[in-house]
Amino acid sequence: MVMLGATPPGRFTEQHDIFFGIGNSLKDLVPHMQDFWPEALGKIHIDAWREVSHVDGFEISVVPKESVPHRQHLFFINLGGYRENEFEEYHYKVLAVGKTLAEASKKSKQTAFYKHYSFKGAESHIDDKFGIDVDDIYKVEDMLPGAFRENYALRINPSPDVRADKLHIGYVKIEKLLKK
């Protein structure tokens, strides 16, 4: 899971998007990240990344494409919220495991962000379909570029290991990755 940043032509502020890919290193993902965001004209950077291996008491692993039973799905949820007297919409990215979108949505309502980033008159907008304040919600398997979806699947198994994935936060130049 990679948070990409860029200031595409014609924009005045840095834009962000989330990329999911499968590889042994960030360098392996560079061509896929560049294909993912062509409007950035190759001028993207990484603001944060996470090797997703544990979510909600489940182990997430990548396996060769096979008939993996989908009892559980990994969902990406992008919550949006506001703070009084601040000219900004804040976002919080959540990964949740659930059998259904409704189950994953319910988990996102438990986050501190959901509870603290709204105020009377500026509640996060309501997504009528899911009945939750979200900007975006997707199955991660649907977010993977085609080359990954065709060859790999996500296996999600209960795990007693409740450790959190390490978050790598900070600016990484793509050019620097390519030189390694």
- Per-residue confidence (pLDDT) for residue 123, from 0 to 100: 59
**Count of residues for the chain?**
180
Distance CA 4, CA 103 (A): 28
Taking only the tens place, the pLDDT of each residue in 75-106 is 999 888 888 888 988 888 999 999 998 898 88
Domain covering 1-51+165-179: architecture = Roll (3.10)
| Strand order from edge to edge, sheet including 167-173 | 15-19, 2-6, 45-50, 167-173
C-alpha 89/C-alpha 107 separation (Å) is 21
The dihedrals phi and psi of 140, each to the nearest 5 degrees, come to -60, -40
Q: What is the pLDDT of residues 65-76, one digit of tens each?
A: 876 677 899 999
Give the C-alpha separation, 30 to 26, whole Å: 7
Tell me the three state secondary structure of residue 7: coil
Task: Report CA 152 to chain centroid distance, whole Å.
Answer: 18
pLDDT digits (tens, 9 = 90+) for 121-142: 665 543 444 444 566 889 999 9
DSSP 135: S
